[in-house]
């Protein structure tokens, strides 16, 4: 199964914010949108970073509540790993595991077209494994 299939089922909505937004604003967005990460974009729509719930928590743990006044740029992950829509779910899972990230922006021709989480990919991988098991059981039962 390809990442494009996951996006087709999940949808291509990506929640974004600007690098100069405050961490307080970002925390509110994460809560309101009920997502674990936001993609940080520049004015032209290029990816600058990813801000996850963990990034916000780390800053608060390190600096206290005053960290909420800081900009997203100060806390975001800048080394962004992305995925392509024609990659497999297993490719995405491998990259997430190797890089220890939970979210991958999906890009095509340099443009952000979606985001996938490790939960999205595990869900699809589990569905594929269950389908394979059912097919094997049906095959064995027919013999």
Q: Which residues contact 125 (CB under 8 A, 6 or more apart)?
A: 1, 89, 90, 93
3-state SS class at 103: strand
Q: What are phi and psi of 21, to 5 degrees?
A: -65, 155
Q: What is the CA 19 to chain-centroid distance, rounded?
A: 18
DSSP 18: E
Break the chain into its structural domains and give their ranges: 3-142
> Regarding predicted confidence, which is higher, 140 or 15?
15
Q: What is the CA 64 to chain-centroid distance, rounded?
A: 26
Q: The domain at 3-142 falls in which architecture?
A: Roll (3.10)
Q: Which residues contact 15 (CB under 8 A, 6 or more apart)?
A: 29, 33, 35, 38, 39
Contact 39, 50 (CB under 8 A): yes
pTM: 0.84
Q: CA-CA distances (angstroms) from residue 130 to 5, 105, 127?
A: 17, 27, 5
Which tokens belong to 105?
């922006």
Instruction: Give the pLDDT confidence of 72-120 residue by residue, as tens digits.
Output: 999 999 999 999 999 999 999 999 999 999 999 999 998 999 999 999 9
Q: CA-CA distances (angstroms) from residue 97 to 23, 94, 124, 131?
A: 27, 5, 16, 24
Instruction: Give the pLDDT confidence of 2-49 residue by residue, as tens digits.
Output: 999 999 998 889 999 999 999 999 999 999 999 999 999 998 889 999
DSSP string, 14-39: --EEETTSBHHHHHHHHHHHT-SEEE
């Amino acid at each position: 199964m390809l990442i494009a299939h996951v996006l087709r089922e999940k949808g291509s909505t990506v929640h974004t914010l600007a690098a100069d937004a405050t961490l307080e604003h970002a925390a509110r967005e994460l809560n309101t949108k009920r997502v674990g990460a936001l993609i940080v974009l520049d004015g032209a729509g290029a990816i600058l970073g990813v801000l996850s719930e963990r990034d916000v928590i780390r800053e608060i743990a390190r600096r206290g509540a005053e960290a909420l006044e800081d900009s997203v740029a100060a806390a975001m992950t800048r080394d962004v790993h992305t995925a392509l829509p024609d990659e497999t779910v297993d490719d995405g899972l491998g990259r997430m595991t190797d890089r220890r990230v939970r979210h991958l922006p999906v890009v095509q021709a340099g443009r952000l077209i979606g985001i996938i989480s490790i939960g999205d990919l595990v869900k699809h991988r589990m569905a594929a494994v269950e389908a394979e098991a059912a097919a094997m059981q049906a095959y064995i039962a027919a013999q």
